[in-house]
Every structure is written in C-alpha cells, then in structure tokens.
Structure 1
Amino acid sequence: MSVVDPGNIECDLQSGALAGFKLLWVLLLATIVGVLLQTLAARLGVVTGLHLAEVCYRQYPRVARILLWLMVELAIIGVDMQEVIGSAIAINLLSAGRIPLWGGVLITIADTFAFLLLDNYGLRKLEAFFGFIITVMALTFGYEYVTVKPSQTQILRGMFLPSCSDCHTPQIMQAVAIVGAIIMPHNIYLHSALVKSRHIDRAKRQEVREANKYFLIDCCIALFISFIINTCVISVFAEAFFEKTNEQVVAVCKNSSSAHIHLFPDDNSTLAVDIYKGGVVLGCYFGPAALYIWAVGILAAGQSSTMTGTYSGQFVMEGFLNLKWSRFARVSLTRSIAIIPALLVAVFQDVEHLTGLNDILNVLQSLQLPFALIPILTYTSLRPVMNEFANGLVGNVSLHWACPSWTLDTHAYEPISLMDGGVSAIEGYEK
C-alpha cells in the first residue's frame, strides 16, 4: 500500500504554486528513495517473518523501542489529522459550503467505522477497494492535468535538471515537505508487515528470492502510480498559478460568478493556495466541474490514508509493545487524538487556519524519518538478521553514515533469519 494522502496533495499544489516546476526533481528523487526503503522493508518481512516493529522489540532495549514507538505514533496521528482536514474540506466543497467544516470533521468519524466494517470481509476485498480509490485519484487528478495542459518541456526540465539556485525559504521548506510527504515513516513499518499476508516457505531460499522480486515489482508499480499523481498535481498548479497575483484571480472569479471571491484579497500580492483555495481557483479558471472533480480526488486521498494509518498503527503497537488491542480500540484512540484539534480549529477558526495545519504536519513527517530510517538500514544490513539477503556495500556505507555507533555492534543482535538455523519468527516452526 502506497498512498497519496491530503497532506501529500497540499504539499504538491504549494510546490507548484510557489516554485513552479523547479521541485519536480525532488519529487523524483524522493520517490526513488521511497522505492528503495519500502523494498528493504518488504525484504526484512520476507526473510525474517517479522515486521520492523517486531524486530525492534526483539533487538532494542526498552527505552529505545518505546521512544521509537512514540515517534511513529506521532507520525501516524499527523497523517490522521491530514486525512481529517482533507476530508472535511472535500465534503465542504462538494456540498457547496452547505456542510460546514466542523460537520465534515465529524463525518470523518464514520470513515473509521466503515473501514473497520470492510476489514471484516478480508484483506483481498480491502485491497480491491484500495485499488478502486487509487483509480479514482488517478482519474480525477489526471482530468485536472488534461484540462490545464501544462508544458511538457517545463516538466522534463524540472524533473531531470536539478536546480533551485534562486529558491527562497518557502521553496526550500516545500522541498523538505515533499520528502516527508513521499517517504512517510509509518509506511516503512507498514510495508514490512504487509508481506506477512502472503504464505512464504522461508526455509527455501529460492522461494524467498522470488518473493523479494515480486514485492519489488509491486512496490515499483505502486510508487510509480503515486509519482504520476503527484506529478500531475504539481504540474497543474505550476502551469496555472505560479506567480499569479490575487488581483488576477479575483478578476477571473468575478467573471465566473464564484461565491468564494472573499477568500482572496483584491491586491497585487502573490497568490497563496491550499487544498481549499486550490479547488476554488481551479473552479474559477476551468469551470465548476474542475472544482468538484478536485474535491472527489481529495476525498479519495483521505479515505486511502485512513486505511494505511489504521494498519500501520495496529502493526506498530503490536510490534513495539507486544500489546494486543483490537483494531477498533486502537483506531478509536488515535482517531480521537487526531479529530479533536482539527475539530477545535474548524469550529473556532476559518479554513485558512485548518489547512495551515497541513504545512506543519508535512514538515513533521520529514522530522520523523530518522526514526524509521535508522532501524530499517540497521537490520537489513546485518547478516545475523538477514543472512545472505543482507544489504551490500552501498547499504552498509549508508548504514555507517546514517546510524549512531551503538546500533552497529553486530554481536549484540539475536539471529532471527529462518535460514541456517536461525530463530523462528513463526510460532510452531521447526527447521
């Protein structure tokens, strides 16, 4: 499961509006790194039969693993908040403002229960529904791309000629946010756990190699689709709204009889957009259909992030704490933590403050990355853990550069690979 969530979309549109096509190369590199990290996570699960949080529980001391758990939970709650904010805004846009933002926040509570109900029908049906949501996102954001018709030359230049020499602080912050929005920490934990839904005879090397190959292909396809969606959003806003002024937008919105003109000051300042204003300006420039299709895409993105956040949180809690909570109880707790601040802002402030939370949360994802990078690089580089499937030279160089020295004492690690007499990760397994 690779996901494009509302925070990801917010980051994309602001990157396009603030920096034009200049940050597409950051998106490309972040996607490539995301493929590598999620492949390592899947390989860890395939070889050991344990997901990353379970390996951390076995190998790290108590204080370290609790710290890691808290950091990952913080990242998951941040994604939950972005899903709540994005869904509330999408519902408000689709209802032409009839459903207030606080009402949209409350409606997102139903998302959780609907998801848990669907989960009872099995993982395969859930994956099919997830595929449907991704298709909806691809079609909606693809429609915006075809409607706006961004310059293909500018896209290729921005993607393959890295340059941001004249970038200022806002553009640099957006580059950092792109990294966190693409390589979300909890997704690394999630991908190490999803492989456990497939039956693999880990005592057979050839079967393990084949599983690693197919999970690599699956990861590449998922992140390629994510990359296309992200590219569409950045390109649309880079082409249509880069260096636009509020005065220009107000003039266009007046001509289209938009009811949202009050959102933009009638002056010559540079246009600032977010998920809400992004939909409004698309509607002003390209017709009401563009606004409603945009809102459908945001709503679909919110639902997909609900699924990944729920599964990630369940695996992380069970792994780090060896604590068996029902999925309903765990999701109810984290979703409540996410909904309360979003609801307070929606009730007592306006939409600009609500969407402003997304900027903070995107940077938060980037700050949380080391708490997923260090464990995955550590364990996939150690032969006692991974046996012959341990990382090669490049992985070990990255490990020594990224990880503190106390994580690198290989004698301190319990052998958990199922190869060559390692400790079984599956209850009842005997070599």
Structure 2
Amino acid sequence: MLPHWNMPREDNQVPLLSDQDVAYESGEKVHILGINEPDEEGSSVVPPFSWKKLWLFTGPGFLMSIAFLDPGNLEGDLQAGAIAGYSLLWLLMWATAMGLLVQLLSARLGVATGRHLAELCREEYPTWVSMVLWVMAELALIGADIQEVIGSAIAIKILSNGILPLWAGVVVTASDCFILLFLENYGVRKLEAFFAVLIATMAVSFAWMFGETKPTGTELLLGVLIPKLSSKTIKQAVGVVGCIIMPHNVFLHSALVQSREIDYSKKGRVQEALNYYSIESTVALIISFIINLFVMTVFAKAFYGTEIASSIGLVNAGQYLQEKYGGGLFPILYIWSIGLLAAGQSSTITGTYAGQFIMGGFLNLRMKKWLRALITRSCAIIPTIVVALVFDTSEAALDVLNEWLNVLQSIQIPFALLPLLCLVSKEQIMGTFKIGPALKIVAWLVAALVIVINGYLLLDFFSSEVTGVIFTTVVCAFTGAYLAFIVYLVYWGFTLSVRRHMLPAKLAQGME
C-alpha cells in the first residue's frame, strides 16, 4: 500500500501525514494562534496577515541562516575583502539571493509534505541510492563541523591569551550538544531565542569592527551595485558562491519548519505557513548578508592592496587587525574573537541538530535525544580533535586542511540540491504546492550555476594538488563514478512522476 501522502490527489488536496517518523512530536510544536479555529470562508482561503502569527512562525529561518555565518563563510569573506577589495560585494548579495531560493524550496518541501528531505529521500529513492545520499550528507556535515569547531577553538585560544590550546578549545566546543539538549527540554522557542542572542552577538561584534575601520561608503555602494570580476579574483569569487549553499542546511531547513502546528487538512493554513516562513527566512538572510558585508568590507578597507592580503586567514586575521588598528575602548582582536566564537558555537550546535535529522531520516532511527545527539556529535568531534592535535602549530597546514574541507563540501552539494529540486517539482509528492514551470526553470538554472562554479573550484584544486600516476588514476575513477551518479539522480528525478503515476494503476490491476 502506498503511503497516504504519496497517493494521487485532486488539485484541491494537500498531502496527508502518517503518524510515524515526525521531526517534532505534537507536544514539542509551537501552537499557532487560531490554528484550530474553523474557516468560515472555506479551507482553501488563506487567513489575513497577522503580525502576531508572523512572530510565532519566526525562528526556523534564523536557525537556517546561521549556516551563512559559520567560520567557513567568515574566512571566505575576509579573504575576498583582503584580495578583491569591495569588488565582490555584488556577488555576495546575489549568492545570498540564490541561497535564499534554495532554502525557500527546502522549507516548501517540509511544510507541504510534513516530511523532511532525508525522510523523503529514504522513501522515494532505491535503498542503495538513499544510503549513498546518507553517506554523502554525513561527509558534508563532518567537513562543515570540523571547520566550525576549529573556528570556535581559534576564538577560545585568542580569548584565553593562548592558555587553552586548539585541542582544548575543541573539547570545550564539543560540549555544545549538551547545551542543545538542555535548551530543547525547555521548548523550541527557548532554543530559537538562544540562537537569536548568538546572531545578535555576531552582528554587534562585526558592526563594531565596521565602525572602527570606517570603510568607504561610496566604494561599498558601488561594490554592491556594479558587478566586477577579474582573472585575479576569480578564485575568491568562486569561494564566495561556493560557501553559501551548505548541503546539511538544505536538509535542516526542511525539518525545522515542522516545529509549528499546521492544520494539513486545510490548504489555506498550509499556504499561510509557507507565506510566513518565506517572510522570516528572507529577513533572516538579509541580516546574514549585512553581517557578511561587514566582515568583507572591514578586511577590504584594512588589507586590500597590501603585501599580507593573500596570507590572511581565520588564525591570524585578528592579530593583523590588532596590529593595524590597535586597542581603543576594547581591543579589536577580542571583538573579532567574540564574533568568531558566536559564529562557531551557533553553527556547531545547528550542525548537531542537522545531524540528528539526517541520521534519523535516512536510517529511520528511533532513539532517545541525548543518545542521538551524542552519536551525531562524536562523528565530527573525534576527527576534529585529531586535526587540532596535528595542525595546532602550523597556520599553513590549517589553511591547506581548510581547502580540502571546502572541496569535500563542494563535492556533496549536488546530492542535496538535486533530490530537493526533483521532489519539490512532483505533484505526487507536493500536491498543489509543487513549484510551477517558471520557478522550476529558475531553480534548475541556479542549481546548475552552483554546481558548475563548484566544479570549477574542484578542477582548479585537483589540477594543482593531484600528482603521481596512482593518485591521478584514483581521482579520475572517482570523478567518473561521481558524474555517473549525478546523471542517475537527474534521470531518476525526471522519471519519478511517470513511475509514481503508473504504480497505483498496477496495484489496482493486481487487486482485480
């Protein structure tokens, strides 16, 4: 028997939900005012806009936006500013807009189906495909988590004046899963409030730096409005776009939006939720764009055109700022470190959150929250401690490691984007909330652009790093299998609607 939400539906129907495999139990969800009130004008009518309801729906988008502010993004921002000046601000803006489109599609999938992306991948794809997708998602999450934890550890090392080495900072950061579990016991809204404080800390810290360095307003405005790109800054441009879309964040947002109580029997209520989530996600990413802009312009003002511009990274960025701008009311080194710590802590906690949904969704696991969080956290913390012990004394080695981690995450992007676009386009899954032809074309163009840009990054990286016959042969074999799997995912997505349309008919024939 087909699951209820996958059965063919009339145009005025919305997906129906099963009682199993929910991201949030009914008691954990935020109650929306008026959710159980009868609709006098019919179930398809969207209720009028309410500021109070918008406030109740606000939260998931801000948790999602933290992936746009993690230490990897901050490093991309500072390197782009130092090497390219203000010239890539326009690209940061449009990359954020592309990221917003992807995240809105993820939210749409979660709201319209009541299922998150990992669960749907398990249900819609063959078992071997869903297992490969799970492994890829876990690898992407581990790569992102290592960068985020190392970023937090660097900030802790600076704030402790070097007393706590990098590995100790990693251990301190590892405790964030217990913070997550503690806050979850007090409800979703408390958890969201905690992340709001961390985002506000980043905003204040980097705005303070912006005020200290006093970037040129005219050049900033021209950088945002006028596209510029040169052969000297192409690598930084690719990095700006490549680090905006995080594979684990696509999975995460589709689950976060299920934290609100929605009446799925009424199309108007589902559309209402989509409207509010679209507004709050847009506001959240506008704020993240402004914070990223602060970082990029600070380093553009301070180091563009200098001899040290190409050597700046997370490890030495604060020290270089301190040498250039000195103390003041509060040393800029510590302002930078506080912002970096907030970015690292918030992103590692949301990474733990994403890991729970990814593992639970793909493997259909049912276990206690503390155990699931501990397993998810251990998957990333153990390799991170090893990395911290090995690379603690070498800034250059950390930079090389960061490049490899960026490559690891870039490789995984198609395995989150392609399933999302295929699933959100299908009426058999989305009902009347499937995306239309125009939005589908735009979404596929954005996905193709992101994949091509990351492909360029991978080609550039491997052409400089891959040497030797054996290593080259292994990389070529891996690349062939990688491309074949991408083609398979696209093929499966475009033929999914045909198979699912024919399956009920075959079942009916079998019953005759």
With the shorter chain as reference, the TM-score category is 0.7 to 0.9
CA contact (8 A) 1:17 1:272 kept: no
1:284 is matched with which residue? 323
Mapped to 2, the partners of 1:286 and 1:400 lie a distance apart of 45
Matched, 1:214 2:256: no
Residue type of the partner of 1:9?
L
Look up the SS of the partner of 1:391 in the other structure.
coil
Structure 2 length-normalised TM: 0.72
Cα 1:400–1:219 change in 2 (3 A) is closer
CA contact (8 A) 2:83 2:304 kept: yes
Structure 1 residues not aligned, in runs of 5+: 247-269, 416-431
1:258 is matched with which residue? none
Cα 1:25–1:6 change in 2 (3 A) is same
1:322 is matched with which residue? 364
Which of residues 423, 447, 466 in structure 2 aligns to 1:379? 423
Mapped to 1, the partners of 2:103 and 2:390 lie a distance apart of 40
Which of residues 440, 449, 460 in structure 2 aligns to 1:396? 440
Give a deviation string over 1:205-248, Cα, whole Å, max 9, x none: 111111110000011011111111111111111111112124xx
1:300-315 equivalences in 2 (<5 Å): 300-315=342-357
1:68-87 equivalences in 2 (<5 Å): 68-87=133-152
1:12-23 equivalences in 2 (<5 Å): 12-23=77-88
CA contact (8 A) 1:279 1:294 kept: yes
Mapped to 2, the partners of 1:362 and 1:143 lie a distance apart of 29
1:195 is matched with which residue? 257
Shift of 1:355: 4.7
Mapped to 2, the partners of 1:339 and 1:54 lie a distance apart of 25
Look up the SS of the partner of 2:311 in the other structure.
coil
Aligned positions, number: 389
Shift of 1:317: 1.2
2:472 is matched with which residue? none
Matched, 1:411 2:498: yes
Give a deviation string over 1:104-133, Cα, whole Å, max 9, x none: 122222222223222222111000001000
**Range moving further from structure 2, 123-132 or 108-117:** 108-117
Cα 1:383–1:87 change in 2 (3 A) is same
CA contact (8 A) 2:249 2:354 kept: yes
1:336-355 equivalences in 2 (<5 Å): 336-349=378-391, 350-352=393-395, 353-355=397-399
Matched, 1:53 2:95: no
Which of residues 403, 409, 413 in structure 2 aligns to 1:369? 413
Give a deviation string over 1:237-267, Cα, whole Å, max 9, x none: 1111112124xxxxxxxxxxxxxxxxxxxxx
Cα 1:195–1:151 change in 2 (3 A) is same
1:163-182 equivalences in 2 (<5 Å): 163-167=228-232, 171-182=233-244
Shift of 1:273: 0.6
1:268-279 equivalences in 2 (<5 Å): 271-279=310-318
CA contact (8 A) 2:109 2:117 kept: yes
Which of residues 277, 285, 288 in structure 2 aligns to 1:223? 285
Mapped to 2, the partners of 1:238 and 1:144 lie a distance apart of 12
Shift of 1:359: 3.1
Look up the SS of the partner of 1:202 in the other structure.
coil
1:236 is matched with which residue? 298
Shift of 1:143: 0.6
Give a deviation string over 1:292-337, Cα, whole Å, max 9, x none: 0110001100111122111111111111111224343343334334
CA contact (8 A) 1:77 1:335 kept: no
Residue type of the partner of 1:411?
V
Which of residues 220, 224, 233 in structure 2 aligns to 1:155? 220
CA contact (8 A) 1:7 1:82 kept: yes
**Range moving further from structure 2, 181-190 or 17-26:** 17-26
Residue type of the partner of 1:203?
S
Shift of 1:180: 3.2
1:186 is matched with which residue? 248
Mapped to 1, the partners of 2:284 and 2:344 lie a distance apart of 17
Shift of 1:368: 1.7
1:88-99 equivalences in 2 (<5 Å): 88-99=153-164
Residue type of the partner of 1:323?
L
Mapped to 2, the partners of 1:116 and 1:180 lie a distance apart of 31
Mapped to 2, the partners of 1:41 and 1:95 lie a distance apart of 40
Mapped to 1, the partners of 2:390 and 2:107 lie a distance apart of 43
Which of residues 35, 52, 64 in structure 1 aligns to 2:100? 35
Residue type of the partner of 2:351?
G
Mapped to 1, the partners of 2:166 and 2:494 lie a distance apart of 49
Residue type of the partner of 1:185?
P
Matched, 1:114 2:179: yes
Residue type of the partner of 1:59?
E
Cα 1:328–1:77 change in 2 (3 A) is farther
Structure 1 length-normalised TM: 0.85
Cα 1:242–1:326 change in 2 (3 A) is farther
Cα 1:52–1:413 change in 2 (3 A) is farther
Mapped to 2, the partners of 1:78 and 1:30 lie a distance apart of 21
Residue type of the partner of 2:402?
N
Give a deviation string over 1:41-88, Cα, whole Å, max 9, x none: 111111111111111111111111111111111111112111210111
Cα 1:364–1:394 change in 2 (3 A) is farther
